Amino acid sequence: MFDFQKFPHRRYNPLIGEWVLVSPHRLERPWQGKVEETPPDSQSEYEPACYLCPGTERAGGMRNPPYADCFVFDNDYSALISELPNGQLDIDNLIIARSERGICRVVCYSPRHNLTMAELDVLDIERVVEVWTEEFIRLGSLDFINYVQIFENKGAIMGCSNPHPHCQIWANQAIPTEPSREHESQSTYYKANAGRCLLCDYLRIESENRERFVFENEHWIALVPFWAKWPFETMLLPRRHAENLSILNKSEKKSLADALKRLTTRYDNLFCAPFPYTMGFHQSPTDGEEHIFWHMHIHFYPPLLRSANVQKFMVGYEMLANTQRDFTPENAAMRLREISENHYRSTGKTEKGSR
């Protein structure tokens, strides 16, 4: 019997058709590389210099209203523009380009500058889920918007420009690369398996021994996917087959807010520090077609490896060959499962900056 917890092997990611190399035998590799500075924990509730706080001025002279819960606005530095002429370039099928229309939005989760998702009240997160849903429906219904990407960068090492709790929404004409790969895989699986859903089937297998489950609530399951490439990568999946946010009922949305709070709290507690990540939804396209094979989900891709200040780099072999990890996804799931759901900042523990 091959021991997958001990020896090198490759795992297949059926959602995007990629492999990850798992090397559990080299777990205790010494580290003399980059050490992140842990950011100070002592920001105030309101920062007059923050362009996302209520009442402050943004770039370009716009002033934020004195908002009380969520606040959404058009990104002042949008990567996409809604009104554009059509442009096409194709030279011998090798030099190819197309004009791209779209809209970029910024969503502030809360007027309070120094809170993260983990520290918001579940009721506040419910409001965020409501706003995501409204934005998804409104942007998705525009005729030139075929995909709505909701994502959050948290932490300076993930490129987040401001600790004020916020996310972004980029909505555009083309289906971007990652969702498009998932789209193809789920569609192909559905056709090849008499109309069964790839992720419903995956959840059924994972539910048998739950070794990669982190936790579950009434409507959502948080797990480390079998093919996780980031050390503590997780996925949040609705138990019920739902293509996108617009299909979720009230109880499923409440349950999602609960799951988001619990997962982000576990992350912060893992190294007793604000846990950086890129988080985002993958949902069915909004191109007006039927996408019954789509099972929505949320990915969390956190870069931390073994402490608040040692991160994993996706370089070298990862850039040139395929992604690789040392400790197994089962091991990561076990560690996340064992962690408390009471936030460390509320229990009086101090940050650990050490390795």
Residues that bind Zn ion (CB under 5 A): 47, 50, 52-53, 113, 164
**Can you count the helices (H) and strands (E) in the chain?**
6, 16
* Choices 120-128, 154-162, 218-226, 249-257 (CB under 6 A): range interacting with ligand H2U: 154-162
Q: Which of 25, 113, 164, 166 is catalytic?
A: 166
Judge contact between 146 and 175, C-beta under 8 A: yes
Return the structure tokens found at 203.
């959840």
Asked if 48 touches ligand H2U (CB under 6 A), the answer is no
Letter string b/e over residues 163-190, b meaning 16 or more CB atoms within 10 A of that residue's CB: bbbbbbbbbbbebeeebebbbebbeebb
Asked if 58 touches ligand H2U (CB under 6 A), the answer is yes
Clarify whether 166 is annotated catalytic: yes
37: helix, coil or strand? coil
Nearer to Zn ion, 17 or 66 (CB): 66
260 binds, options ligand H2U, Zn ion, none, Cβ within 5 to 8 A by partner type = none
Asked if 168 touches ligand H2U (CB under 6 A), the answer is yes
Of the candidate residues 51, 144, 190, 213, the single one contacting ligand H2U (CB under 6 A):
51
| DSSP states along 119-188 | GS-HHHHHHHHHHHHHHHHHHHTSTT--EEEEEEEESGGGT-S--SSEEEEEEESSPPHHHHHHHHHHHH
Asked if 153 touches ligand H2U (CB under 6 A), the answer is yes
Asked if 106 touches ligand H2U (CB under 6 A), the answer is yes
Nearer to Zn ion, 76 or 218 (CB): 76
Of the candidate residues 38, 75, 180, 217, the single one contacting ligand H2U (CB under 6 A):
75
Which residues are designated catalytic? Answer: 166
- List residues near ligand H2U by CB under 6 A: 51, 58-59, 75-77, 106, 153, 160-162, 168
